[in-house]
C-alpha cells in the first residue's frame, strides 16, 4: 500500500469508529429510560435529544471550518497560525455555548413548540433540557477542538474521546438513575458529565501535544501565551476570513437540515406507518454516511495540508485515491443493501407490517451510495481547501431541485417522489461540485 492510501486509511478508520459511537450516546439514554419509565419518558428523551441534535448540527461549521484552516496551516508548517485557529474556535464555540445557557428559556420555549411536544411529556422534556443545556459550551468547544485535531492530521484523539465519552455516559447514567433514583434527571446529568469529560480530555491532549511536540514534524515549538491570545483576538483580517468560511458552511448546513427535516415531516403526513418506513430506510443512508464521512474527514485533513504545502501532484493523487475508496464503498454498500436489505430491516424492527411496507421503496435505497458518494468526498476536499462557496451554492441549488421535484411529482408518485427527490438532492450536489472543482479548486495551485 502506497503512502497516500495509508495516510487516507490512518485518518478515515478512526473517524469511522468515532462516527459509529456518536449515536450510542442517545441510544444509551433511550435504553436506560426504557427500563425506568413509560412512553412519556421515552418520548421525552427522544424529543430532548432531537432538540440538541438540531442545535449542534446547525453549528457543525465549528468543526468543519477549523479542520480546513488548521490543515492548511499544518501544510505551511505555520504552527502559530494553527494555534490561532484553535483559539478562535474555542472563543466562538464556548461563547456560543454560554449564549445558549443565557438564552435557554427562549430556546426551550421555541423548541418545545416547534417539536409539537405532547402535554404529557412536557415536564420531562423540560427537566432534561434544563440540565443538558449546561453542556453546550463543552459540546461546541469540543467541535472546534475536534476540527483542530483533524486539521493537525490526527483522528485517533477524537476517536478516543468519543469512546471515553460513551463509557462515562453509560456509567454515570446508570449510577444516577438506578443508584440515586434520579430518573430522567439522572440521564441528563450523565450526558452532561460525559460532555464536559470529553471537552477537558481534549484540552489535556492539546496541552500535552504542544508540550511534547507530538502534533508536528518540526523542531519548532509553539506555546500558548497571553501575547498570542491577544494577537488572535485583534487580527481583524483573520477573523473576517474565519467568519466568511463559517458563514458559508453554516448556510450549507441549513440546506441539509431543511431537506432532512422536510423528509421526516413529509413522511409523517402520510401516516405513522409511512413515517416508520422512511425512518427505517433512512438508517441505511445514515450507516453509509458514517463510513463516507470518515473518508471526507481524511480529505479535509490531507487536501488542506497539501494545499498549504503547494503540492499539486500529491493533491491530485490524494483525490484519485479518495474516489477509489469511495467506489469501493459504493460497491460494498450497494451489494449489502441489494442482497440483505430486508434482513437489515428485520434487524432494526420486529414489526413485520413495517418491513413489508418498506419493500416497495427498497429499490431507492440501492441507489443511495452511488448518488451520494461524490458529495461526501467533495465536501471533504472543499473543506480542506476552504472552498466553502463550492459547498453552499451546489447545496442550495440541489435543495431547490429537491423541493421542486417533490411538489411536482408527489400527487402522482406518493412516497416514491420523496425518495427520488432525495436521490436527486444527493446527485446534484456531487455533480455540481465536480464542475465547481474543475473551475475553482484544481487550478488553485
Q: Are residues 169 and 205 in the same domain?
A: yes
Tell me which of 182, 206, 234 is where a domain ends: 234
Q: Are residues 167 and 118 in the same domain?
A: yes
Give Cα 442 to chain centroid, integer Å: 26
Question: Would you state the pLDDT for residue 348?
Answer: 72
Choose among 258, 287, 202, 253: nearest CA to 60.
253
Q: Are residues 191 and 248 in the same domain?
A: no
Q: How many CB atoms lie within 10 A of CB 269?
A: 8
Question: Would you state the pLDDT for residue 280?
Answer: 84
Element (H, E) at 83: helix 79-102
Q: How many CB atoms lie within 10 A of CB 163?
A: 15
Give the angle subtended at the CA of 367 by the CAs of 412 and 276, to the nearest 5°. Answer: 60
Q: Are residues 204 and 246 in the same domain?
A: no
Q: Measure the CA–CA gap between 61 and 157, rounded to whole angstroms.
A: 20
Report yes or no on whether pTM surpasses 0.85: yes
Range of the domain at 280: 237-445
**DSSP code, position 179:** I
Q: How many domains does the chain have?
A: 2
The single residue listed with the C-alpha cell 468519543 is: 162
Question: Would you state the pLDDT for residue 432?
Answer: 97
Could you tell me the CA-to-CA distances from 191 to 129, 134, 136, 183, 290 in Å, in that order? 11, 10, 11, 13, 22
Question: Would you state the pLDDT for residue 234?
Answer: 65
Q: Are residues 227 and 373 in the same domain?
A: no
Q: Measure the CA–CA gap between 328 and 428, rounded to whole angstroms.
A: 21
Query: CB under 8 Å to 73, separation ≥6 — which residues?
Result: 79, 81, 82, 85, 151, 308
Choose among 423, 225, 383: nearest CA to 300.
383
Q: Are residues 276 and 288 in the same domain?
A: yes
* Lookup: cell for 309: 504545502
Tell me which of 234, 259, 276 is where a domain ends: 234
Q: Are residues 369 and 305 in the same domain?
A: yes
Q: Measure the CA–CA gap between 236 and 439, rounded to whole angstroms.
A: 29
Question: Would you state the pLDDT for residue 227?
Answer: 63
Question: Would you state the pLDDT for residue 308?
Answer: 92
The per-residue pLDDT string of the chain (445 residues; one tens digit each, 9 = 90 and over) reads 789 999 999 999 999 998 888 766 666 776 777 777 666 777 778 788 888 888 888 888 888 888 999 999 999 888 888 888 888 889 889 999 999 999 999 999 988 887 767 777 788 889 999 999 999 999 999 999 999 999 999 999 999 999 999 899 999 999 998 888 888 899 999 999 999 999 999 999 998 877 766 655 454 455 555 566 666 666 667 778 788 888 999 999 999 989 988 888 888 788 878 888 888 898 899 899 999 999 999 999 999 999 999 999 999 999 999 999 999 999 999 999 999 888 888 887 777 888 898 899 999 999 999 999 999 999 999 999 999 999 999 999 999 999 999 999 999 999 999 999 999 999 999 999 999 999 988 888 7
The single residue listed with the C-alpha cell 485557529 is: 85
Q: Are residues 287 and 229 in the same domain?
A: no
Q: Are residues 213 and 294 in the same domain?
A: no
- The Cβ-side half-sphere exposure at 114, using a 13 Å CA radius, reads 12
Q: Are residues 185 and 285 in the same domain?
A: no
Question: Would you state the pLDDT for residue 212?
Answer: 67
Q: Measure the CA–CA gap between 17 and 24, rounded to whole angstroms.
A: 12
Tell me which of 204, 234, 264 is where a domain ends: 234
Choose among 295, 274, 282: nearest CA to 368.
282
Q: Are residues 203 and 346 in the same domain?
A: no
Q: Are residues 218 and 247 in the same domain?
A: no
Question: Would you state the pLDDT for residue 26?
Answer: 65
Choose among 82, 83, 337, 396: nearest CA to 225.
83
Q: Are 354 and 277 in contact (CB under 8 A)?
A: yes
Helix, strand, coil shares of the chain, percent, nearest 5, are 85, 0, 15
Amino acid at each position: 500500500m502506497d503512502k497516500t492510501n495509508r495516510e487516507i486509511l490512518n485518518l478515515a478508520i478512526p473517524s469511522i469508529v468515532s462516527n459509529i459511537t456518536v449515536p450510542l450516546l442517545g441510544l444509551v439514554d433511550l435504553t436506560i429510560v426504557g427500563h425506568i419509565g413509560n412512553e412519556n419518558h421515552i418520548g421525552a428523551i427522544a424529543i430532548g435529544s432531537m432538540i440538541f441534535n438540531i442545535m449542534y448540527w446547525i453549528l457543525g461549521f465549528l468543526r468543519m471550518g477549523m479542520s480546513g484552516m488548521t490543515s492548511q496551516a499544518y501544510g505551511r508548517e505555520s504552527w502559530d497560525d494553527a494555534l490561532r485557529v484553535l483559539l478562535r474556535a474555542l472563543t466562538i464555540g464556548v461563547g456560543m455555548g454560554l449564549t445558549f445557557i443565557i438564552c435557554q428559556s427562549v430556546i426551550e420555549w421555541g423548541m418545545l413548540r416547534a417539536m409539537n411536544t405532547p402535554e404529557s411529556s412536557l415536564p420531562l422534556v423540560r427537566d432534561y433540557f434544563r440540565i443538558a443545556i449546561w453542556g453546550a459550551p463543552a459540546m461546541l468547544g469540543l467541535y472546534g477542538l475536534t476540527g483542530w485535531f483533524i486539521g493537525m492530521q490526527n483522528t485517533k484523539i477524537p476517536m478516543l474521546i468519543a469512546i471515553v465519552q460513551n463509557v462515562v455516559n453509560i456509567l454515570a447514567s446508570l449510577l444516577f438513575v438506578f443508584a440515586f433514583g434520579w430518573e430522567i434527571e439522572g440521564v441528563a446529568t450523565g450526558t452532561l458529565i460525559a460532555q464536559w469529560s470529553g471537552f477537558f480530555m481534549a484540552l489535556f491532549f492539546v496541552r500535552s501535544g504542544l508540550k511534547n511536540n507530538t502534533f508536528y514534524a518540526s523542531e519548532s515549538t509553539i506555546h500558548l501565551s497571553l501575547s498570542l491570545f491577544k494577537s488572535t483576538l485583534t487580527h481583524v483580517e483573520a477573523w473576517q476570513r474565519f467568519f466568511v468560511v463559517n458563514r458559508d458552511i453554516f448556510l450549507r448546513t441549513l440546506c441539509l437540515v431543511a431537506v432532512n427535516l422536510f423528509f421526516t415531516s413529509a413522511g409523517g403526513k402520510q401516516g405513522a406507518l409511512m413515517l416508520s418506513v422512511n425512518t427505517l430506510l433512512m438508517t441505511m443512508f445514515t450507516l453509509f454516511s458514517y463510513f463516507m464521512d470518515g473518508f471526507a474527514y481524511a480529505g479535509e485533513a490531507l487536501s488542506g495540508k497539501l494545499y498549504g504545502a503547494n503540492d499539486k501532484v500529491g493533491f491530485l493523487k490524494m483525490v484519485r485515491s479518495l474516489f477509489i475508496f469511495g467506489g469501493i464503498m459504493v460497491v460494498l454498500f450497494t451489494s449489502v443493501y441489494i442482497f440483505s436489505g430486508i434482513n437489515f430491516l428485520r434487524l432494526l424492527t420486529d414489526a413485520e407490517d413495517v418491513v413489508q411496507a418498506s419493500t416497495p421503496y427498497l429499490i431507492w435505497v440501492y441507489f443511495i451510495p452511488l448518488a451520494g458518494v461524490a458529495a461526501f468526498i467533495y465536501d471533504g476536499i472543499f473543506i480542506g481547501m476552504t472552498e466553502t462557496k463550492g459547498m453552499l451554492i451546489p447545496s442550495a441549488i440541489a435543495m431547490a431541485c429537491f423541493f421542486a421535484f417533490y411538489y411536482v411529482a408527489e400527487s402522482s408518485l406518493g412516497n416514491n417522489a420523496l425518495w427520488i427527490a432525495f436521490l436527486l438532492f444527493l446527485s446534484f450536489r456531487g455533480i455540481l461540485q465536480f464542475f465547481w472543482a474543475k473551475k475553482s479548486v484544481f487550478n488553485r495551485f
